[in-house]
Structure 1
Amino acid sequence: MSRQAGPRVPRWAAVHALWAGADFERYFRWRRDREGDPFFVRFPGFGAVLFTGTNSGARELFRAPIDILRPPHPNPIEPLVGSASLILAEDGRHRRERTLLAPAFHRDRIRRYGSIIRDATLDELRGHGSTPPWRPGTRVDARAAARSITLRVILTAVFGVDDPARRAEYTAAVGAFLTAFSGPLLLVPALRHGAFGYAPWDRFVAARARLDELISADIARRRGAGETGADILDMLLHSRYEDGTAISDDDLRDQLRTLLVAGHETTATSLVWALFRLHRQPHTLRRLRAELDDAGPGFDPGEQARLPYLDAVCQETLRLHPPVPIVLRRLTGPFALRGVDLAAGDTMGISLPLLHSDPEVWAEPERFRPERFLERRYGPFEFAPYGGGHRRCVGASLADHELRIVLATLLTHVVLAPSPRYARGRIPVAVPHNIATGPHAGITFDVVSECPRTATRM
């Protein structure tokens, strides 16, 4: 291929899209190795995207003029989050909605959730979540447990849900909603049509309506009764835009649904990968346990989240397994990405697995080595697990805080061993799961023992 002519758009777009959906990281590495950087990928019903995975490419994209950037359209996750979602908002509306939502995720506010996060994790260990009690000899599905913990946290943080019956209702509705939005519906928009109530799209629409009923009921109850609380819903109900107006019920519902979807699936996926990587590398696990032991079992969860090696382990997990692996921007005006001229209507993107393994930045990029994050600080164009620029994930602070506290709580209460299937061999393939990508199947662990200093606290 002639570099002067620019990268070509591959033919057989459906074949390429299926390969990308089946094994995203391997496909993108193959394209980079074969054609260099940048390269085009065409998705059915969406068009071609020019991808980069280098530090310089990320710098260009994240620093592109805000007034010519839009979220991609049609957007594959719009049925999940809704058209009013912050993720899909454009221009001034994006700034307006982000200004309204950002205070709910201020670091000082996030630290208040430390006890909620720890309590949710301990309840899962006791068998009050989706898995049986984590006693010696029990085999647990880490993905099911992680989803249960993170969903409970986001339900408490967003809605203040502490009633077990109400929590169970939400848990069932969210589970059905996310399960109904299958990989084919995500990747092939042409399948989003009903067939007399029997098509996958019909099942998804029904599940979404049920979840929206619950959210709308909470909004109406708060507005009608004048109830107040310390949760994010209360904060948004009492917040005002710059012109003094309040957010509408429909827009609020989309924002809350976005928080439910994005606020638990992504963190749950990261937790599973962290447990998997640690238990495949005993010396790293021993070092982290030693740091946690030195801190003590009664250490404040907010302070625990700031432990340096715990932080490094979580950063390294996000480097190798970013839960949302691509960043996309659609252009409304001309722009050049890495020397390739693009026009209004074109889409450009960053492949985070490529960015996080750029050999010019990362030594031994395939290796899980948390120490690299103790040795130097990486810039926002080198390490971007939550995206970057003006559209960086508004909930990044909560996700970071939660991942660290849940991981620390698990490791200070139980000793685990990966089940034989996951103790050795290949790293599981990551595939799309709704808004995130994660292991194609739940990764299982066997509970070896309870940690002596914390066994009585469970």
Structure 2
Amino acid sequence: MPDMLESYAAWRQRREGDPFRVRIPGLGAVLFTATQEGAREVFRAPVELLEPPRPNPIEPMVGAASLILARGEQHRRERALLAPAFHRNRISVYGNTIREATRAELSGDRTGIPWLPGTRIDARAAGRALTLRVILAAVFGIDDAERRAEYTAVTTEFLESFGTTLFLLPPLRRNIFGLSGWERFSAARDRLDGLIDAEVARRRVDGGGDDLLALLLSARYEDGGVITALDLREQLRTLLVAGHETTATALVWALYRLHREPATLDRLLDELASAGSDPDPLSLMQLPYLDAVCQETLRLHPPVPIVLRRLTGDFTLRGVPLVAGDTMGISVQLLHTDPAVWPQPRRFRPERFLERRYSPFEFAPFGGGHRRCVGATLADYELRIVLATVLTGVRLRLAPHFTRFGAPLSVPHTIAVGPRAAIRFDVQP
């Protein structure tokens, strides 16, 4: 079931054709496209003409220095610095970390609530806990129970304090004698920044580690300079926010879709069984049906459903002239359900990814062009290993309510869009 934003965008597209305009609070009228031709024009637009739109609703969370919001030469320099840490060869070393963190979550090692038969699991809460544990291990190398508990509590408070109201209504971001939601969020952000700064200071003195923080501390700009403390803090905060919520959302949707399609689930379980009882995590990346399931999940439920670019000069999108200051975008949800590309577009059918390859202008769950998500490889790797570990570790049944009705509506959850209602599963014997 499409969410309200997608439904409205689809209505505008039917009314106006492609491209079409949608008014977004704080940004004004945005010219959207949802065809592969339009996506090609946006992603191939000259780099010097594009920048992130401002004001940006996620800036209070990730910071102005975040790679997501950096522009021009700053974006090029920061991306060149960060990209080696997310190279496929480097990411592969985190396979065992991801798998062990997932197994520990299933055993109840973090929460004290193991996934045992008879337990009802809130997939959204569990997915967030699980992926947070993974990202803390991958970014900071945290495996000590006490430190992990501290980081988990502070990070969770930070993420939950920036609710939909603060996300959508910037005028509410103000102080009211210590009583406002904005002040609670600011205090939670300060606590998280304190943890990050202390960890960075310790590492600068002690060195060591094979996690992402260690790589970033050793990285150098082209001129030999090192990343500043402020920029490093905001890049690390971005990794916690983006790497946590997006993967958690994708995991929830994958489990939901699989357990509504028993034949699809059985085929995936057969493939996982063929890989052996304890396969090397890297080998999971070679399983074609697991890959297809994850791709199909991201097609129907892209965690970030729109791509936005603000123009710094004149440009023409699909024949419509734009000028500096205008904003254009791609509706990723509509792009991924274009019937000209995707037969039976609303159906969960992973086989389509085994039958043909799709261009980056047809399938773009991580954006595209020079601003494609730098952490896409880590996200892909994590989703596949976590999903495989959960499915081989426990047997789940979707709570009856979710088998009788359509998919829950999607709403903003910090940086990503996910199900509004908690999706629950019962652990089976």
TM bucket, shorter chain? over 0.9
Q: Deviations over 1:107-147 (max 9, x none)?
A: 11111111111111111111123472111111111111111
Match of 1:352 in 2: 332
Alignment partner for residue 160 of structure 1, among 141, 151, 157?
141
Match of 1:171 in 2: 152
Residue by residue over 1:147-204, the C-alpha shift from the partner in whole angstroms, topping out at 9 and shown as x without a partner, is 1111111111111111111111111111111111111111111111111111111111
Residue 17 of structure 2 corresponds to 36
Is 1:448 equivalent to 2:425 in the alignment?
Answer: no
Contact 2:312 2:323 in 1 (8 A): yes
CA distance in 2, matches of 1:177, 1:27: 31
User: Paired residue for 1:404?
Assistant: 384
Q: What's 2:8 paired with?
A: 27
Match of 1:274 in 2: 254
Quick one: structure 1 residues 397 and 254, their matched pair in 2 at CA, closer, same or farther if it must change by over 3 Å?
A: same
Unaligned runs of 5+ in 2: none
Q: Do the aligned partners of 1:127 and 1:134 also contact (CA within 8 Å) in 2? A: yes
Q: 1:217 aligns with which of 190, 198, 203?
A: 198
* Structure 2: distance between partners of 1:202 and 1:429: 29
- Secondary structure of 1:446's aligned partner: strand
Which one of the candidate residues 80, 91, 100 is aligned to 1:110? 91
> For 1:189 and 1:430, how far apart are their aligned partners in 2?
21
1:58 to 39, 63, 70: 39
Residue 388 in structure 1 maps to residue 371 in structure 2: no
Match of 1:242 among 192, 210, 222: 222
Report the secondary structure of 1:243's partner residue.
coil
Determine the C-alpha separation between the residues in 2 that align with 1:424 and 1:294. 32
- 1:12 corresponds to: none
AA partner of residue 428 (structure 1): P
1:293 aligns with 2:278: no
- 2:307 matched to 1:327? yes
**2:417 aligned counterpart, secondary structure:** strand
The aligned amino acid for 1:199 is S
- Partner AA of 1:328 in structure 2: L
Amino acid corresponding to residue 85 of structure 1 in structure 2: S
Please tell me the root mean square deviation across aligned C-alpha atoms, in Å. Answer: 1.2
* Distance in 2 separating the partners of 1:131 and 1:426: 32
Q: Is the 8 A contact 1:45 1:190 kept in 2?
A: no
Contact kept? 1:130, 1:144, Cα under 8 Å = no
Matched, 1:93 2:71: no
SS in structure 2 at match of 1:277? helix
Letter in 2 for 1:107: R
1:289–1:221: structure 2 CA closer, same or farther, 3 Å change rule? same
- Cα deviation digits, residues 230-285 of structure 1 (max 9, x gap): 11111111111111111110110000000000011100100000000000000100
Residue 121 of structure 2 aligns with which residue?
140
Superposed CA deviations along residues 350-389 of structure 1, whole A, max 9, x for unmatched, are 0100000111111110000000000000000000000000
Give me the TM-score of the superposition, normalised by structure 1.
0.92
- Contact kept? 1:129, 1:145, Cα under 8 Å: no
Is the Cα–Cα contact under 8 Å of residues 129 and 149 in structure 1 kept in the other structure?
no
Of the structure 1 ranges 125-134 and 280-289, higher mean CA displacement relative to structure 2 is found in 125-134
- Aligned in 2, Cα 1:131/1:63: closer, same or farther, shift over 3 Å? farther
Find the aligned partners of 2:77 and 2:112 in 1 and give their Cα distance. 41
- The SS at the match of 1:245 is coil
User: Partners in 1 of 2:296 and 2:110 — Cα distance?
Assistant: 28
Q: Which amino acid aligns with 1:366?
A: R
Aligned pair count reads 428
- Deviation readout 1:397-449 (Å, 9 max, x if unpaired): 01001101111111112111001121221111010000000000221100112
Looking at structure 1, the residues matched to 46 and 180 of structure 2 have their Cα atoms a distance apart, in angstroms, of: 42
Contact 2:12 2:22 in 1 (8 A): no
Name segments (4+ residues, structure 1) moved above 3 Å: none
Deviates more, 1:37-46 or 1:79-88: 37-46
Q: Are 1:435 and 2:418 counterparts?
A: no
Read off the aligned partner of 1:77 and give its amino acid letter.
I
Do the aligned residues in 2 keep the contact of 1:430 with 1:440 (CA within 8 Å)? yes
Post-superposition offset of 1:290? 0.7
Q: Of residues 181, 185, 202 in structure 2, which corresponds to 1:204?
A: 185
Contact 1:292 1:412 in 2 (8 A): yes
Partners of 1:129 and 1:323 in 2: CA distance: 26
Decide which of 228, 232, 236 is 1:256's aligned counterpart.
236
Letter paired with 2:192: L
Q: Matched residue of 1:319: which SS?
A: helix
Distance 1:131 1:428, change over 3 A: farther
SS of 1:268's partner is helix
Give the corresponding residue for 1:456. Answer: none
Query: 1:119 and 1:401 mapped to 2: Cα distance?
Result: 14
- Cross-structure match for 2:359: 379
